[in-house]
Amino acid sequence: MENTMSHPTHTTKLNHKVNLWATYKPLILVAAFIIGVTAMIEIKSGELVTSRSMNNFMAGFFIFFSFFKLLNLQAFADAYSTYDVIAKRSRAYAISYPFIELALGVCFTLEIFTTFANALTILFMLVGNYSVWLVLKRKGTIQCACLGTIFNLPMTKITLFENTVMLAMAAMSLTLH
């Protein structure tokens, strides 16, 4: 039987993995649900259509993420305005952001105004990536408001990755239409 007390690096690595799971569990679960629903839609349709699956993924992303932000809109706006370059200057933008996300989710779900929705998604993700990059560059510790404020998620490269995936899907969707 191995004694973990004599292996501090083993214990430290295990604690780090447990802390990562505990920290990112909400984000991982939301991503898994969105991916799962997107996969079920594709399975039900009988074929994988890239543009449709990206629309459905982006629909789920924006609807889920707006939901969590709307649970406490004022707290979201406060947290978001600490790092987003536009929200820092405009409280109205910070307050309206979850509603914009919800509208984008509806557009992607109903497949209406998709060119506009993809272009707007690209714009928002570019601004978001720049804002996150500034925080990461300063090596600041700040709460990520991507899932609202009910979860205490730190701003990390994961936020940058999440925005970049959405940016790439919106750009690909524009080229597929």
Reported as a single tens digit per residue, the pLDDT across 134-169 is 888 888 777 777 777 776 766 678 888 888 999 999
Whether pLDDT at 15 is above 80: no
Whether pLDDT at 27 is above 50: yes
> Cβ distance 68 to 80 under 8 Å?
no
> Cβ distance 166 to 58 under 8 Å?
yes
Q: Where in the chain are the domains?
A: 9-176
Across the range 110-124, mean pLDDT stands at 95
Identify the bridge partners of residue 149 per DSSP, sorted by sequence position: 147
Whether pLDDT at 4 is above 90: no
58: number of CA atoms within 13 Å, CB side? 34
pLDDT over 70 percentage in the chain: 85
Whether pLDDT at 118 is above 90: yes
Q: Residue 116, class by beta-carbon neighbours within 10 Å (0-12 exposed, 13-18 middle, 19+ buried)? A: exposed
Q: Greater confidence, 41 or 27?
A: 41
Other CB atoms within a 10 A radius of the CB of residue 144 amount to 22
Average pLDDT, the chain: 85
> Cβ distance 121 to 174 under 8 Å?
no
Beta carbons within 8 Å of 83's beta carbon, 6+ residues apart = 131, 132, 134, 135, 142, 145, 155
**pLDDT for position 2:** 47
Whether pLDDT at 9 is above 50: yes
Other CB atoms within a 10 A radius of the CB of residue 74 amount to 10
DSSP label at 150? S
Between CA 99 and CA 52 the distance in angstroms is 23
DSSP label at 163? H
